[in-house]
Chain A
Amino acid sequence: MKKDLLSISDLTRDDIDLILNTAEAMREVGERPIKKVPTLRGKTVVNLFYEPSTRTRTSFEIAEKRLSADTLNIAVASSSVLKGETLVDTALNIEAMAPDMIVLRHASSGAGHLLSRICRSRIINAGDGMHEHPTQALLDAFTIKQHKKRLDRLKIAIVGDLLHSRVLRSNVLLLTMMGADVWVCGPATLIPARIDQFGVTVSTRVDEAVANADVIMMLRIQHERMQSAFFPSIREYFNTFGMTTERVARAKSDVIIMHPGPMNRGVEIASEVADGAYSVILEQVANGVAVRMAVLYLLAGGADGD
């Protein structure tokens, strides 16, 4: 493994297998009466979040605490960032206090790469703008593997706001590397240019994308990142692309439905689908802790080339 986890492209197939196998062992720790192991005792992890987050920040913090790391959270809303400090200055000041790892969530793509160049601490990208969210893709892969026992030769349909989604980019890199048959689907205005170069099949017809699918992964409509009108109305979007029980019925009978959260019920996904028997959305959240424990543990060791 490299020093930092900024992108799925930092990982090899073997790294991904190692992370997923380690996560399997970490999941067992969460099932014990005492859900804590002394592994990262004496290590300091700073969670630096420039964007609002419930799931990811909580998940990282629980993972860090279960490994006995000392954690501290910097929520930008109550920090010197409001006084005009730049990301680099904030990072250098944190670095001066010698933490071992920094978990960074930032609205700008590549923020983690910037910190990686100036920090000795290991950097974990917890979402950078519209670029990547590698631990989300890893926990998605872990959840798929739990249900399907493999990742290769599965038809995986990713449906929704492809353009603004860092979850999409990380998942496409990971799933195509592992040999899955990945379909991406959304309105033409929300499909990133040249996405087909990543080895995915692009479709604007949701019925075609979900037909015979093993996995359906829904993406949130990211209103907060939309500066223009990408589709006429929410109702029209739901009618054309929303995941309904009728559309799920076109997939394989043992299909699983995933969503990275937070969900917009009635926009990209019908409530009866989100709460249906094939939904693994809350399992994804539970698995997130185990996968992040695995990443923290593996990055705490020596890196390639150290």
Chain B
Amino acid sequence: MPVVMDADRMGRSLARIAHEILERNRGSEDIALVGIRTRGVPIARRLATQLRDINKHEVPTGALDITLYRDDLMRHAVGPQPVIKRTEIPFSIDDKHILLVDDVLYTGRTIRAALDALIDFGRPKTIQLVVLVDRGHRELPIKADYVGKNLPTSLSQSVQVHLLEIDGRDEVEIQEP
């Protein structure tokens, strides 16, 4: 399986994104990070560490589970329901610039669900999207604001993101069918 991003590259991509976030938002005063479960959460935490190191300012960080907002939940009535994990956003998102973080951007349906979920928590000033990998094939009009790596893929391939916190190593690979 071809590795398309190793630990070094992943670290450099996240460092670059952290700088881009600060440049675009003119500092870190009103920003907050929300990672989409599962793998968006550790990426959001790493960005929070980077932002703090650069700007000496703690950025609130939360975790969002979008299962309850999925558009395919009740469509396949066969098999058990997906497991729901806790959403933890221990701060007000009102009037903040929210950086929504996920590992892979693909059809855009997860992000659609995440936007609906976020809106239920308040009224942020902006929502900006951070992804480690954009693999194309959007089914909804959604675009990332910060991208670690653009990765052209075919529909039959699958993109696997491995993170130290969950999988024991930092690596992105493409799996052929």
Task: Tell me the A residues contacting B by CB distance below 8 Å.
Answer: 1, 18, 21-22, 24-26, 28-29, 32-34, 36-43, 67, 297-298, 300-302, 306
Contact = CB atoms under 8 A, between A and B. Distances in A.
Given A25-B65, A301-B80, A32 B120 contact: yes
Contacts of B120: 32-34, 36-37
Nearest to B73: A39
Given A32-B120, A34-B120, A43 B69 contact: no
Contacts, number: 59
Nearest to B87: A28
6 contacts: A25-B86, A28-B87, A298-B80, A300-B74, A301-B80, A302-B77
B79 interface: yes
Nearest to A21: B83
Chief secondary structure at chain A's binding surface:
loop
Chief secondary structure at chain B's binding surface:
loop
A182 to B, nearest CB: 29
Contacts of B77: 301-302, 306
Nearest to A22: B84
Interface residues of B, number: 22
Contacts of A24: 86
A33 B122 contact: yes
A33 B85 contact: no
Contacts of B154: none
Nearest to B76: A302
Contact of B78 (A18, A32, A33, A306): A306
B68 A37 contact: yes
Given A34-B120, A36-B120, A302 B78 contact: yes
Nearest to B86: A25
Contacts of A34: 120-121
A299 to B, nearest CB: 9
Contacts of B83: 18, 21-22
B81 A300 contact: yes
Given A33-B122, A37-B69, A40-B74, 17 more contacts: A1-B80, A24-B86, A25-B65, A28-B87, A29-B68, A32-B121, A34-B120, A37-B68, A38-B68, A42-B74, A297-B68, A297-B81, A297-B84, A300-B81, A301-B80, A302-B76, A302-B77
B80 A302 contact: yes
A301 B81 CA distance: 5
Nearest to A42: B74
Residue of B83, B84, B85, B86 with highest tally of chain A CB at under 10 A: B84
Nearest to B122: A33
Contacts of B74: 40-43, 300
Contacts of A21: 83
A302 B79 CA distance: 4
Contacts of B121: 32-34
A25 B79 contact: no
A3 to B, nearest CB: 11
A187 B94 CA distance: 58
Contacts of B78: 302, 306
Given A33-B121, A43-B74, A26 B80 contact: no
A39 B68 contact: yes
A109 B83 CA distance: 32
B88 interface: yes
B95 interface: no
B58 interface: no
Nearest to B82: A301
